[in-house]
Structure 1
Amino acid sequence: MDKKNSKYRWIVFASVLLTYFMIVSQRTAPGLITDQLMKDFQVTASTIGLLTSIQFFAYAGLQVPVGILSDRFGPNVFLIIGTFLTGIGTLLYSIAPNETVLLLARLIVGTGDATIWVNLVLILSQWFKGNEFVKLLGMAGMTGSLGFLMATVPFSMWIAWTGWRPPFFTTGIVLCLCGILLYFVLVKNPRKMEKLHQPANSQAAKPIQKREKTGVILKRVFSNRQAWATFLCHYGTVGTYVGFIGSWAVPYGMHVFDMTRSGASQFVMIGLFGAMIGAPLTSWISSRLGTIKKPYIFVHIIVFLSWSAFLLFNGKPPYFMLIALYFLIGYGNGASALTFAVVRKSFDVKEVGVVSGFANMGGFISAVLLPSAFGKVLDHFHGAEASVGYFYGFMIPALFALMGLIGGLLIKEKSSEVTQSKEITA
């Protein structure tokens, strides 16, 4: 079967994106119920920070192993297993009787989530041609932003109507159904189609390719300046945004600006609109300029200045400015798609999966560190005015964003002629 010319590839595309949409919504949805969890389970802000961090810790720690395994054994099985794990973890979260089960549930969700992006990229590369792949990868990034969007006002209204447990339980069921759907779409149906299109006498053995040792691959990646540059870029744009949105953004609006939960969720939604615009617009600007580094450095400067603005106004910027800051920080998160454009142009096709996992790991290591560290700062200033604790807390994402800017400056970009020739021969 010619996958890249079959109409069936669009069924694959729709199924994978539906699953990605559902999974991404569960990265930040728990941030909507931070105060409820603190009240229901009598836990501190540090414990809530740990809840978010443990999910992203699992995600970050598994990125490189998942990239290696998926390159060697194929992405389909790992995507299906990851979807089921995310669904089971979400179900467990919805019925958790104590904070220990909550932690276990988020660990399972993080483990499942860790398989999604790298395998999504590999699956799309198998089913679509090069010119289609780039465009659809942008659509996948936008789908992720829509998933985040669902976890704002719509999910918040659902929680306000039914309480927090039913929405998470229902989402867990839907994710398990998505796992079943993926099995039929990615495994069972393609096997039938392969048999139908396979010639009767085609028993020729496939040539065995000699695989490079994992240690050699990792040593080469970890010693590569360009790989570390992409790691830091993602560290500064993705982790600060995901870590804050997924834990303290809603409580910040409620405690510092006296917003309702729905009102605070609407501010988070502004950031998500920025993220939806960031990927396609910045990619378009990059292609028009013929460079990735210059627009990406500009994005990192904007993100760093945005987090610094919270410090300039002592943790409570003017209301109108808060709208702009959320939008710009979200825009930076969307524009982080340029990280993978750098990877694609800089590394051999056999290494793209591993380096993509390494770069993605950077974003989620900072997403691990930020919620927990932010929570400890808030606990330390518990008796002070709310804006005081948040003022000192905002020093953390500002520092992380500075590291992202350093990563942008470290990117080594070849001349456009060399890049174009490399793309042609790839």
Structure 2
Amino acid sequence: MSELIGAREQVHDIGRRRAWAIWLVALAVYVLAVFHRSSLGVAGLLAAERFDVTATQLSFFTVLQLLVYAGLQVPVGVLLDRYGSRRLLLGGLVLMTAGQLAFAFATSFPAAVVARAVLGAGDAMVFVSVIRLVTVWFLVRQAPMVTQLTGVVGQTGAIIAAAPLSFLLRELGWTRAFAVASSVGVVLMVVVVLVAKDSPYRRADVVSVKLRALAQSVRTVWGNPGTRLGMWSHFTSQFSVTVFALLWGFPFLVRGQGWSEASAGTLLMAMTGWVILSGFVLGALVARYPFYRSWIVITVVALMMAAWAAVLLRTTPAPDWLVVVMAFATATGGPASMVGFDLARSFTPVHALGRANGIVNVGGFMASLLCMALIGVVLDLREGGGMAAYDLGDFRAAMAVQFLFWGLGITQVLRFRRRGIAHLQRVHPGAVDQMRAGRPWVHPGLGQEGV
């Protein structure tokens, strides 16, 4: 593998107005990606009717979309290190626009599946591109909070999917509603071309990786325990809110808990609002206590497990307040998952961040697609009559599979936390003590801007 690092002549201020402008444009692309990703959450029941599919087939839409997303993270990371965020944001917009437009006109299950796969490929290019921009354009002391802002503000795309898309589907119908949604991508392509810039330096850091060296490149990044600590943190905290918001939350509330469709949609929107509020709190905690970032993730996951247990152990529908508490606890997993990228940043030089972030991002989405698929399988095994036949007992059994993933994830987070600390003490003496004292530690490959 040959690496070419460009000259580090700074031509723009870091963490100032231009950085915020570029971040806002990239954030708008991420909001659109979350919207496209979440669109099936409120259209799931309509999709089941339009394509005449079972619960397993319905879950396959989102599972395949997330499988493509997760499967492309490492290749996208390599491309990101080589070509930069701007080109990948444009590529992502092109694919998402094409996929959503194809989904608008799809009338058969196979055609719709292909459309969602293309959408997933575009989605795969967006988030890690935004995170890389945050890393290179903001001061180290700013990065944890801006990373949290990226995640929580990006979730407004789910609000847009939960309310305005529902309205468009009712007023315009399936085809026109999704066609209108796809057109937003064209506008953002123009804005990205005009505003986005990869780096505040005259030449951005790039990495030229030959194909024959790709496997070794990925093994090197994977071998860093900080990368795997970030991945398992993302795995453990992110999947539940993704499963709930993208597919199974709406049917669980309507068919399992007896809520009206309007109330279920309102709760999904309220969850996104809670994501934003809790993200600010977690961002401040992560910046203040860098040594305890993994424990922050585990604490959030423990609260999620307790809330879900309280709901699922009941043989009758849970009180509305308890369902709301469970939903908000679940939503907190979104901001908690962002800690995984902050962990990876502490262990990785800037020229390898694309690959590291890609591996981290695989964790939560791989857990999401496996959990989502398993829920659909359990539902079909218990009741073969389709979506309208599922009751509370079916959903209690199906949603309980989440505990398998939480248990595995917590075990791995604790395991790689120990390995990560040992790695830093061995390779970077003093780093652990610095983080214990509440001061951010920067990998030597990142430079010392803002410290």
What is aligned with 1:62?
72
Identity of aligned residues (%): 22
Task: Describe the SS at the equivalent of 2:110.
Answer: helix
Q: How many equivalent residue pairs?
A: 414
Q: 1:210 to 1:111 in 2, by over 3 A?
A: closer
Quickly say closer, same or farther: Cα 1:404–1:319, change in 2 above 3 A.
Answer: same
1:397 aligns with 2:398: no
After superposition, the Cα gap between the structure-2 partners of 1:32 and 1:82, relative to the gap in structure 1 and judged at 3 Å, is same
1:97 aligns with 2:113: no
With 131-140 and 317-326 compared, the bigger mean Cα shift is at 131-140
Contact kept? 1:80, 1:182, Cα under 8 Å? yes
Corresponding position of 1:298? 299
Structure 1 residue 41 displacement after superposition = 1.7
Q: 1:346-361 alignment to 2 at 5 Å?
A: 346-361=347-362
SS in 2 for 1:151: helix
Which residue of the partner structure matches residue 2 of structure 1? 11
The amino acid that maps onto 2:314 is F
CA distance in 2, matches of 1:206, 1:169: 36
Shift of 1:206: 11
Structure 1's unaligned 5+ residue stretches are: 199-204
Residue in 1 aligned with 2:173? 163
Note the alpha carbon deviations across 1:88-140, whole angstroms, 9 max, x for none.
11111111111111101100110000000111122333444434444332321
Q: Using the TM superposition, give the Cα deviation of residue 16 of structure 1 relative to its aligned residue in structure 2, in angstroms.
A: 1.4
Q: Which residue pairs with 1:220 in the alignment?
A: 220
Q: Which residue number corresponds to residue 417 of structure 1?
A: 433
Q: Measure, in 1, the Cα distance between the counterparts of 2:19 and 2:181.
A: 26
**Match for residue 26 of structure 1 among 36, 40, 45:** 36
Counterpart mapping for 1:149-298 below 5 A = 149-186=159-196, 213-290=213-290, 291-298=292-299
1:47 offset after TM fit, Å? Answer: 0.7
Contact 1:91 1:172 in 2 (8 A): yes
RMSD: 2.9
Cα deviations by residue, 1:119-176 (Å, 9 ceiling, x for unpaired):
1122333444434444332321222121122221332233233333322211101112
Question: What letter matches 2:364 in structure 1?
Answer: G
Q: What CA distance in whole angstroms lies between the structure 2 residues aligned with 1:10 and 1:135? A: 13
- How far residue 79 of structure 1 moved from its aligned partner, in angstroms, is 1.1
Unaligned runs of 5+ residues in structure 2 are 1-9, 425-430
d(CA) in 2 for partners of 1:287, 1:14: 21
- Alpha-carbon spacing, 1:126–1:387, altered in 2? closer, same or farther (3 Å): same
| Cα distance change of structure 1 residues 372 and 26 upon mapping to structure 2, 3 Å threshold | same
Q: Contact 1:32 / 1:265 at 8 angstroms: preserved in 2?
A: yes
1:118 is matched with which residue: 117, 122, 128? 128
Structure-2-length-normalised TM-score? 0.83
One-letter amino acid of the structure 1 residue matched with residue 13 of structure 2: K
**Greater mean alpha carbon deviation, residues 121-130 or residues 367-376:** 121-130
TM-score, length-scaled by structure 1 = 0.88
Cα deviation code 1:395-421 (max 9, x no counterpart): 222211222322332324466534448
What is the CA–CA distance in structure 2 between the aligned matches of 1:370 and 1:421, rounded to whole Å?
35
The residue that corresponds to 1:202 in the other structure is none
